[in-house]
Amino acid sequence: MKKIKLGIFTILLLTGVFVIIFSCKKEAGLTNDQTFNYSASEYIPNSEDVISLILKFKEAHSNYENGLKTFSDMPVDQALWTLEATANYDYASEKDSTADYVYDSIFVYIDSYINGDDELILEGGSLIDAYDVLFDFIYVQITASPNSVLIVGDLSIVEAATPVTTFMLSTVTGLIIPGNYGINATDYWYAANELGQCGPYIGQNVGRDASNRINQVLNWNHGLAYACANGGVVFYTSIDSVYIEDGCTNGWCFWYGANANECLDPTDMNYWLGVAEDEIEANRPTGKVFIEVDFIDDFFFPTLLFTHVIRPVRYGIINCTNPHE
Which helix (H) or strand (E) segment is 137 a member of? helix 124-143
Q: Pick the residue with more confidence: 34 or 152?
A: 152
Residue 36 has pLDDT above 90, yes or no: no
Q: Which residues contact 23 (CB under 8 A, 6 or more apart)?
A: 6, 7, 8, 105, 154, 156, 168, 170, 241, 312
Contact assessment for residue 167 and residue 85, using Cβ atoms and an 8 Å cutoff = no
Q: Which of left, alpha, beta for 250 (phi over 0: left; psi -120 to 50: alpha)? A: left
How sure is the predictor about 150, in pLDDT bands with cuts at 50, 70 and 90? very high
| N residues, the chain | 325
Delimit the domains of the chain by residue range: 5-175, 189-320
Distance from C-alpha of 236 to C-alpha of 44, rounded to nearest angstrom: 12
Distance from C-alpha of 130 to C-alpha of 165, rounded to nearest angstrom: 11
Which helix (H) or strand (E) segment is 89 a member of? helix 76-90
Q: What is the mean pLDDT of the chain?
A: 82
Closest CA to 276 of 245, 246, 305: 245
Q: Which of left, alpha, beta for 75 (phi over 0: left; psi -120 to 50: alpha)? A: beta
- Which range, of 1-10, 99-108, 192-201, 304-313, averages the lowest pLDDT? 1-10
Closest CA to 185 of 270, 276, 255: 270
Residue 204 has what DSSP assignment? S
Contact assessment for residue 264 and residue 223, using Cβ atoms and an 8 Å cutoff = no
- Which range, of 36-45, 212-221, 284-293, 311-320, averages the lowest pLDDT? 36-45
Distance from C-alpha of 251 to C-alpha of 236, rounded to nearest angstrom: 29
Residue 161 has what DSSP assignment? B
Contact assessment for residue 160 and residue 30, using Cβ atoms and an 8 Å cutoff = yes
